[in-house]
Amino acid sequence: MDRLRDFLNALKQQALAAGNFLGLLHVLIGRRILAPDDTPLSAGISWRELAGLLKQVRWDKEAVRELGLDPASLPPRDRHKYWYTAIGQSSVGSDKAARAGDELAKRLAKLGYKVGPRPRG
């Protein structure tokens, strides 16, 4: 989980997921991610784990606007619940999310990360 937290921090610092928060959610929840040295970072994580990671790395809460959500409509005091609710309302399993995930995977590939294909189903 530390490697995934470091990965998220790097994405945040380099603004690699800027404008593609839905794609980031899709990739983290449903795809396998390998570091440039082929070290596994994730094989997909639960909404609950992702909410915890977003809280830990202090992801900008305004990112939910990209999902069509108003930050004021989400639980203001409990960041874990905030992110969990946002993920639940994001349609992370939609075809739109999968396309956004594909776009993020292309950005990450330029840095050497390998992101698996979208889940079948």
Question: 50-61: per-residue pLDDT in tens?
Answer: 999 999 999 999
Q: Is residue 108 part of a domain?
A: yes
pLDDT of residue 120: 76
Instruction: Compute φ and ψ for 67, nearest 5 degrees.
Output: -90, 0
Q: Is residue 121 part of a domain?
A: no
Asked if residue 115 lies in contact with residue 109, where contact means CB atoms within 8 angstroms, the answer is yes
Residue 58 makes CB contacts below 8 A (sequence gap 6+) with none
The tens digit of pLDDT for each residue in 112-121 reads: 999 999 887 6
pLDDT, mean over the chain: 94
Range of the domain at 80: 2-115
Of residues 7 and 120, more confidently modeled: 7
Q: Is residue 26 part of a domain?
A: yes
Instruction: Show the tokens assigned to 96.
Output: 């739109």
Q: Is residue 22 part of a domain?
A: yes
Q: Is residue 120 part of a domain?
A: no
How many structural domains compose the chain? 1
CA dihedral 9→11→12→17, nearest 10 degrees, is -150
